[in-house]
Amino acid sequence: MDFTQDIILENNRVLLRPLAVTDFEDLQTVAFEPELWQYTLTRADDRISLAAYIAAALQGREQQRRYPFLVIDKDTDRVAGSTSYYNIELEEARLSIGYTWIGSEFQRTGLNRAAKYLLFRHAFEVLGCERVELETDAHNQKSRDAMQRMGATEEGILRSHRYTQGGRRRDTVIFSVIKPEWNVLRQKTFREFDARESA
C-alpha cells in the first residue's frame, strides 16, 4: 500500500478521501458529541483533542501505520466523520478497519455500511487482502451488534488488551471477514451498493 498516494473511494452514498489538516473546521460540526467517544481509546470532542486526533492520524499515515479517511455523506454533501485502515500488514495480506466515528445524525442512515463496503472491497479486490479485522471495546455492545449485522465473525476477546481513556485496561473484541466470505457478503449484506456498481 503506497501511503504517499491518495486513495479516493466513492459510491452513490458516500465519499471517502484522505484526511487532511484542513478538515478540522468541518469535523468540528460532528465531533463535539461526548457520547461518540464513550468507548474510544482517545477523545476528540473539543478543539484541542480534535486537533490532537487529526495530528495523530496524519502522523500514523506518515509512519505507514495507518491510512485515515474523511467520510462525506453524499446525500447532504456534508462531512460525517472519519475512518481508517490500520495494522496494515500487506506481506501477510491483512489489515484492520477502525478508528471509525460518525456523527449521531448520520447514524442508522446506511452511511457507515456504505463506507464499510468500499473499504472491504478495496482491501480484498485492490490490495489483495485475505483477511480484514475489526475490533471494539467489549463494553461497546452497539458496535459489536453492528459488526455482526455487517457479516463479520466474532473471533474472541483479548483480555486486558489496551489502555483506553483514563488509563483503564480494556478487553477488546476481535471480528474478521476473510476473502472467501467476501463474495457472499457483497451480494447479501452489501447488495444495494454492489448492485448499483455492477449495473
Model confidence, pTM: 0.95
DSSP 121-166: HIIIIIS--SEEEEEEETT-HHHHHHHHHTTPEEEEEEEEEEE-GG
- Reported as a pLDDT band with limits 50, 70 and 90, residue 141 is very high
Give me 62's grid cell: 506518515
Return d(Cα 67, Cα 39) in angstroms, integer: 21
Is residue 129 domain-resident?
yes
Please say if the pLDDT value at position 80 is more than 60. yes
Domain interval for residue 38: 9-198
Is residue 3 domain-resident?
no
Helical segments of the chain, H only: 24-31, 47-62, 111-121, 141-149, 179-187, 191-198
CATH (domain of 14):
3.40.630.30
Please say if the pLDDT value at position 198 is more than 70. no
Is residue 107 domain-resident?
yes
Is residue 15 domain-resident?
yes
- Reported as a pLDDT band with limits 50, 70 and 90, residue 192 is confident
Give residue 197's pLDDT: 59
Domain count, the chain: 1
Q: How many residues does the chain have?
A: 199
- Reported as a pLDDT band with limits 50, 70 and 90, residue 195 is low
Is residue 1 domain-resident?
no
